[in-house]
Every structure is written in C-alpha cells, then in structure tokens.
Amino acid sequence: MRVLAFRKRLYNNMFQEDTDGSLYEDMRKDWQRLKERSREEGRFDASWAKYLGNNGNLYYQALEKYAAVAAEDSNVEWWVGRKNNFSSGNAEVLQKVKENASNKNIAQMLSAVQNVSKDTAFKKLYHFNDDMFSEANKSGKPVMVILGTTVTTEEDFKDYAKMVIEYYGDSYEYYYKGHPGTPTISFPSKQADLDELGITDIDSAIPAELILFFFPEISMCGYSSSTFLSVESDEMACGIFNMTKEDGLNEKSFDGSMFDYFASRTSSEDPVYGTLCKPEGQSYLLEFNDTKQFDIAIYHAAEGAFTYYKNVAESGCEWSDQVMRNAVVADIAPQDYNGQRIKPEVTVTLGGEELRKGIDYSVSYGSNVLPGQGSVTVKGRGDYAAYGSTKKYFVINKVENPLQVICKDTVYGEDIEPEVINPSLGNLTYEYKKKNAEDSEYTASVPKEPGDYTLRVTSGATVCYKSAEAVVDFTIVKALPSICVVPEAGKIVEGQSLSESQIKHGSADVEGIFSWKQPEIKPSVSDSGKTKYLVLFTPVDTEHYEILEIGIVVTVDPVYSPTPTPGEPDEMNKPAPSESQKPSVPPTGTIQPSVPTVSPSAAPAPAALKQGQKVTVGKNKYVAKAVSGKVTLTYAGTTNKKSKTVSIPAKVTYQGTTYPVTEIASKALANNKYVKNVTISAAVTKIGAKAFYKCKELKKVVIKGKKISAVDKNAFKGISKKAKFKLPAAKAKDYKKKIKKAGFTVK
C-alpha cells in the first residue's frame, strides 16, 4: 500500500498548534481503529473517519489527513515533493514525520517509467492523449496552459485569463487545465467561459505533472500550485494569479523567482497604486521580477489594456509611464516559414504620435526562422533612449509539405520500393489499395499479387511543415519464367508438321510445359538446323507468371528413296506402262516380298561431365563435381549480373543428361549489386563461403530444402539489413544458427 501525498500545506495546518503532540497521537489511534473496522466489515465508509478530509467523496481524499500517521506502518510509504517545508508545534513529532516521509520527484519517476518502455501503458492508465495540443501543432504556435484550481475557488478567473491573452497576444494557443476534483465537464458555466475566451479545455483527470513531463516545452501560468515544481526551466513558469510579489517570493511550495510576474487585485483605494487605477471597473497589479525597464503594470479589466510604470523615485514611489512598453507596435501579419530569418517592418506609436525608425527607436529581431513565435524588439533612441524597449510577437506559420512519392512498376516476387522525395519528412505512413477502389479500402498490407494499385503516403507534421499526403499508381506485373535448359526438338522428315516433333529436355525455374506456338507449320529440308520456330513455355501458375516464347531449330531429314541397281532403269524416269503392260494384281492371300528398311546409324551418346568442368545452362553457370562416378553440379553464378531474381534449380539437363544441383559455390554472387530475391531449391546441401557476400540489395531468401548441412563463413555477411528469410519450419532453428555464423541474424 502507498499513500501518495504532496499536500504539505494540509499537514502544516493540521499540526501547527499541536504543541504537545496529543493531536498526532489521537490521529494515530483513530487510524488503527479505521483499519480494524474496515477489515471486520470488509468495506470502508468515510463517515467512520474522525478527521475527515476536505473532499470526502473518495476514500483517498477522505483519508488524506491521515497520511502522516499512516506512514508509521511498515507497509505504507508517504510520498511528498519536499519534506523540508513541513512545520509543527512539536519538534519530536516533526522529526518523526520527516523520517517517515519520502521525497519523490515526479519527473524522475516518470523518466524511470519511460526508461523501461512502460510510458505507453502509463499514458493509457491516465487516459493521456498525445494529441491534446493538436490545435497548436496545426497553427505552429507554442502552448500556454492556464493552470486552474478547484472551480469554486478560482477568484476572478475570466479577468485573469483575459489579462494573460492580452499580455501575450495571438502568439500562443491557450489551454486550461483544471483541478481533478472539479472536472470542467461537471461545470457548464466554466465550459461556457472557456468557449467565450477561445481557450481549449484539457482533461482535468490527467495530472499536470504528467503533461509537463511529456510536453516539456509548454509554458504555464495560473493559480498557486506545487505543479510549478515540475517545470523543466524558468521560462516555462510565466505568471501566477492572485498573489503579490512579496508573498510569491516568500512562498515555500515553489521558487517565486522563476516567474515573470505576479498578478493580484488592486483598486483606486490602494495607498501605493490607487492613483494608477481607473475609478470604474476592476484593476489588477502586475509586479515583475525583471525590473530593468519597468517595475509594474496596471491591467484595466474593463478596457482590456495595460499601462506600464517605472519607479523613478530614489526613495518611496514615483511612478512614470514614460516607458517604451507603453508604445503601441502595430500588429504584424502572420509570416510563412521560408528557411530564412524573417524581419518584418513595424509601425510604432507612443501617446498617439508615430515614432521614427532610426531616430526615435531601433529594431532588432529574434531568431525568427522556425515556425512558431517570432519577435521584434523596439528600443528607444534619442529623446526616447531612457524609455527602454518593448517586444512585439508575431506568428510564423508552417507551410505546405512538398511531399512527392515515386513508385515504379514491379514484377511479381520482387519488393515494392517507393521513393519519397521531401526536404523535411515527418513520420511516414504507407497504405495501399486496389486502383479505383474506395479510400476506405486503404490498408498497411503491402500487395504481392499482380494487378494495378494505388499507394498513399502520409507525412506527419514536422517543425516546419504541415502534414501532407501524396498518392501514386503502380502495377505489379506477372513475372517471366527463367529458362534453365533450352529444349530440343525431335527430328522430323520433310512433309511432317512441327506437331510431330517432340520437344524434350527443356526446364525452367517454375513448373510448366513446352509446346509449339504454330504446330501446323511444315519445315523444309532447307530450314533444317537454321530456322528457329517459336516454342511456348506455359507455367502451371499462370496467375503469377507470363507465358514465355523462345525459338529453337528443328532437324528436317529428306524423304527416304532407295538407290536404283546399276543397269536397271530409273523408276522416276521410266515411262508409264500401257494398260496391257501393267502387271496383274495377285490373288488375295498372296504373300508379297518385304522391302528392306534402312535405319540411320545412331548418334554416339555425349560423354559425362568431368571433375571441375564449367558449363552454362540458360543464364546460370555451374561447375561439375565427380565423386565415385556420380556427377553433380555446383551453382557458380549468373551470366546476367543485373538480374534481380535468382533461382537455383534442383536439377539441370545438359546435352541430354540431367544432373542434380547440390551446392552453391564460394563467392557465387559475391558483391552483386542487383540481386534482390534468391530461391534455393530442396536439392542444395551446402552454401559456400561468401556465396552472397555484400549483396547489399538482397532482401528475400527462400530456402526450400531440409538437407543443408553447411553454410560456410560470411556466406550472408553484408546483405541488406532488412533481409527476410523463409525457412522450412522443421529446420528453422538449425538454419538460423548456421546463417548467424555465416554473418546475418535472422529475426
């Protein structure tokens, strides 16, 4: 159990008169009684408490006065912002209380939460909204939070809020943060006031310290609060309401010297400032910590205007309004960010008279480069040199983000690579949909199937640019199969069509069949071995792969005619016999003499590949490996070095003989600048050293087999850091270890 308490003022008020410690002891006894009764009845009722808190609607509020005595329990911690501010009428009690209390710094505690990556869960716990200052993000203006207290004790809130807006002008977006005990939603009149003033309400349930931690650049002013202890710098603490400078500098719950001003009520009856006030309407006194140019200002609420004064008396008070801050610098129109320092011209009047630049005043500028608040400082010169200076603020707007996106058409199986062009990018979001589909169909899923698509890229707002959106159309086209082995055509004789020529021995990197494109063609002998005829390779998977055309030659033999015997007439030139000379038809059943058939001699079988012999099949290069009479091939690279996709097949046919491809050679694709996708067949058992070394564009590797026994040193070292591996589930753990030793960690 922990009791969280930062209300040192509550403690001091309780025990200031407890000189003999009797109140402390009575509260301690009552605390024990409350615990015992709660255990017995299994519940808690605020009416049981003898020392009921100021807000009795919740148990932790009802018991807040018991924090000091509860801290004596071993299972209770009392967290306070500062325990050196405690006071008591009894020294012994005070010492005990300080020992039991624990100093806690909200910012440090939140940093600890953030360091262990729990800040998202912590924000969710408090319903924290990262977009609470979205209006300021859109306008590029800084945030000014007016810190309230309980609604019923916010004296003169509307006057103070108007005073702040008049003081800082249009250079801020204004927000209100109320007390958790009196949420704005429960007070319609408060919400109406905020709407009238143009002030955005922040959920009062969110601790102000939490807001300050996650938005450390915001500025704050408002009623007295220990929240000011959590500001990161003095610049964040601007002003405090309902408090004089004397009281503020003596306040122990915060450092009063960090504020720009202290604001409090005053009137024409005030002995020091009365003559400066208007007889009608409420006046407010602003007392400044920095008194180099002026000491005070009087805000006339009815007029919504300030008059600034300098005390020119050596002793006592003599107020002079001869200060440049009373000069009127005409409003400066909002300026657009352009990457350079912005220096707008100004017009200055004092007492109704226009002052002359370079004679009566000089101008200097703030940094005025980045969007947000820009400034111009006007300093008196000549007759106005003693008047000091004044500052005018203006807005520097964010500009449209010149977001552009290019997405080239891509091929099935290859990665989509959009290129975003922008001088200053915010957080980018990529979304895809089918071309011409409704915008509601956009999704973060990257399309893989062939088709027409639209890509939408959204850039979040940056310091200088507004959020932006760009769209581009692109197409994923079907992939072209890669022919591993060019097929051969079976012999035909003149007069036969291509349909009678068998296509054999061909293979590709995907499954499919070869067929003649024009099977009805009848090649002549003169075309034999020279003319190429179109063959279609039709993939089984036609949804993802195109039908491919290649040309191959056909051997055409002449029609066989027997050579005539010497002395016998040439049958082709012999005159046709007369009807009387024609032989008679033999009777049915007569056996005719057979004609001998002449067969061409068979071609000799090609010799088997030898150890170390290099061959090229299709676009792939191989080296033969002969062991105990068995020949296998080792993949050694590609002839097309600009190919983005490489498939290492399970087998290859060369000169009519099929060989398995079982290894990938060392440095097979080392330093290849183009390959992006590699597929390794199930027949491969070994990947050589530096096989894919420094293939910086390699982003996808598919390993189909379960028989890889070795992945040698640096085989995958230097490939793309974004590379993804698709591994057989049964071997994933083993392969990941092997690949890690080879230079790449598979996620």
Instruction: Catalogue the E-assigned strands of 571-726.
Output: 614-617, 620-627, 630-638, 645-648, 651-654, 657-664, 677-680, 686-687, 700-703, 710-711, 724-726
Residue 336, H or E segment: strand 335-336
> Which pLDDT score is estimated for 592?
41
| 284 HSE (CA, 13 A, CB side) | 30
> Which pLDDT score is estimated for 4?
45
Q: Which residue has the tokens 């440090």?
A: 108
Task: Name the 3-class secondary structure at 368.
Answer: coil
The mean pLDDT value for 582-605 works out to: 43
Residue type, 299: Y
| 214 HSE (CA, 13 A, CB side) | 18
Whether 598 shows a pLDDT value over 50: the answer reads no
Whether 62 shows a pLDDT value over 70: the answer reads no
> Which pLDDT score is estimated for 560?
72
Q: Which of 569-578, 663-672, 699-708 has the lowest mean pLDDT?
A: 569-578
The mean pLDDT value for 576-580 works out to: 49
Express each pLDDT in 605-645 by its tens digit. Answer: 567 888 999 998 888 999 999 988 899 999 999 988 888 99
CB 266 within 8 A of CB 298: yes
> Which pLDDT score is estimated for 108?
64
Enter the tokens of residue 712.
Answer: 């040698």
Pairing between β-strand 451-459 and β-strand 468-477 as defined by DSSP bridges: antiparallel
Cβ atoms within 10 Å, residue 589? 5
> Which pLDDT score is estimated for 85?
66
| pLDDT-derived band at 113, boundaries 50, 70, 90 | low
Nearest to 214 by CA among 152, 132, 280: 132
Q: Return mean pLDDT, the chain.
A: 86
The mean pLDDT value for 656-678 works out to: 93
The mean pLDDT value for 550-568 works out to: 77
CA distance 506 to 513: 9
Express each pLDDT in 515-532 by its tens digit. Answer: 999 999 999 999 999 999
Q: Which of 251-265, 440-454, 513-527 has the lowest mean pLDDT?
A: 251-265
Task: Name the 3-class secondary structure at 308.
Answer: strand
710 bridge partner residues = 686
In total, the chain counts a number of residues equal to 747
User: What percent of the chain clears pLDDT 90, i.e. is strictly above it?
Assistant: 56
Enter the tokens of residue 266.
Answer: 């005053």
Express each pLDDT in 132-168 by its tens digit. Answer: 898 888 887 889 999 999 998 999 999 999 999 999 8
Task: Name the 3-class secondary structure at 626.
Answer: strand
Whether 445 shows a pLDDT value over 70: the answer reads yes
> Which pLDDT score is estimated for 56?
42
Q: Which residue has the tokens 């491919």?
A: 548
Top pLDDT among 650 and 567 is at: 650
Whether 593 shows a pLDDT value over 60: the answer reads no
The mean pLDDT value for 398-411 works out to: 91
CA distance 109 to 105: 6
Whether 242 shows a pLDDT value over 80: the answer reads yes
End-to-end CA distance of the chain: 42
Is the sign of the CA dihedral 354, 358, 361, 363 positive or negative?
Answer: positive
Whether 59 shows a pLDDT value over 90: the answer reads no
Task: Name the 3-class secondary structure at 226.
Answer: helix
Residue 91, H or E segment: helix 91-100
**Going from the N-terminus, what domains does the chain have, and what CATH number goes with each?**
3-104 (no CATH), 128-320 (3.40.50.11110), 326-397 (2.60.40), 404-477 (2.60.40), 483-557 (no CATH), 614-741 (3.80.10.10)
> Which pLDDT score is estimated for 109?
64
CA distance 620 to 298: 88
Express each pLDDT in 383-395 by its tens digit. Answer: 999 898 999 999 9
Residue 36, H or E segment: helix 22-41
**CB neighbours of 323 closer than 8 A, spacing ≥ 6?**
293, 294, 308, 309, 310, 387, 388, 390
Whether 604 shows a pLDDT value over 60: the answer reads no
**CB neighbours of 703 closer than 8 A, spacing ≥ 6?**
680, 684, 725, 726, 727, 728, 735
Residue 488, H or E segment: strand 488-489
CA distance 453 to 432: 7
Top pLDDT among 162 and 577 is at: 162
DSSP string of 372-392, one letter each residue = EEEEEEEEE-GGGGGG-EEEE
Whether 253 shows a pLDDT value over 80: the answer reads no
Nearest to 690 by CA among 710, 717, 663: 717
> Which pLDDT score is estimated for 117?
58
The mean pLDDT value for 106-115 works out to: 61
Top pLDDT among 405 and 426 is at: 405
Cβ atoms within 10 Å, residue 655? 14
CA distance 168 to 393: 8
| pLDDT-derived band at 559, boundaries 50, 70, 90 | confident
CA distance 407 to 447: 13
Q: What 8-state DSSP symbol labels residue 364? A: E
> Which pLDDT score is estimated for 582?
46
The Cα-based distances of 632 to 476, 600, 702 in angstroms read 37, 33, 22
CB 698 within 8 A of CB 675: yes
CA distance 260 to 231: 14
| pLDDT-derived band at 402, boundaries 50, 70, 90 | confident
> Which pLDDT score is estimated for 69?
86
Whether 657 shows a pLDDT value over 90: the answer reads no
DSSP string of 546-600, one letter each residue = --EEEEEE--EEPPP-PPPPTTSPPTTTSPPPPTTTSPPPPPTTPPPPPPPPP-P
The Cα-based distances of 256 to 208, 261, 515, 588, 596 in angstroms read 19, 9, 92, 136, 125
Express each pLDDT in 451-500 by its tens digit. Answer: 999 999 999 888 888 889 999 999 999 998 888 888 999 999 999 999 99
Phi/psi of residue 36, nearest 5 degrees: -65, -45
> Which pLDDT score is estimated for 356?
95
The Cα-based distances of 69 to 14, 29, 399, 559 in angstroms read 12, 9, 58, 119
> Which pLDDT score is estimated for 70?
86
Task: Name the 3-class secondary structure at 627.
Answer: strand
Top pLDDT among 55 and 65 is at: 65
Spatial strand order in the sheet of 361-365:
335-336, 389-397, 372-380, 361-365
Whether 601 shows a pLDDT value over 50: the answer reads no
Q: Which of 444-448, 532-536, 562-566, 714-718 has the lowest mean pLDDT?
A: 562-566
| pLDDT-derived band at 5, boundaries 50, 70, 90 | very low
> Which pLDDT score is estimated for 555?
95
Whether 596 shows a pLDDT value over 50: the answer reads no
CB 217 within 8 A of CB 142: yes
| pLDDT-derived band at 595, boundaries 50, 70, 90 | very low
Nearest to 377 by CA among 332, 334, 338: 332
Top pLDDT among 472 and 44 is at: 472
336 bridge partner residues = 397
Whether 293 shows a pLDDT value over 80: the answer reads yes
**Whole-model pTM?**
0.50
The mean pLDDT value for 33-37 works out to: 90
**CB neighbours of 599 closer than 8 A, spacing ≥ 6?**
none
Whether 309 shows a pLDDT value over 70: the answer reads yes
Residue type, 353: E
> Which pLDDT score is estimated for 580?
46
CA distance 747 to 412: 24
Express each pLDDT in 352-374 by its tens digit. Answer: 899 999 999 999 999 999 998 89
Whether 584 shows a pLDDT value over 60: the answer reads no
Enter the tokens of residue 308.
Answer: 């600034």
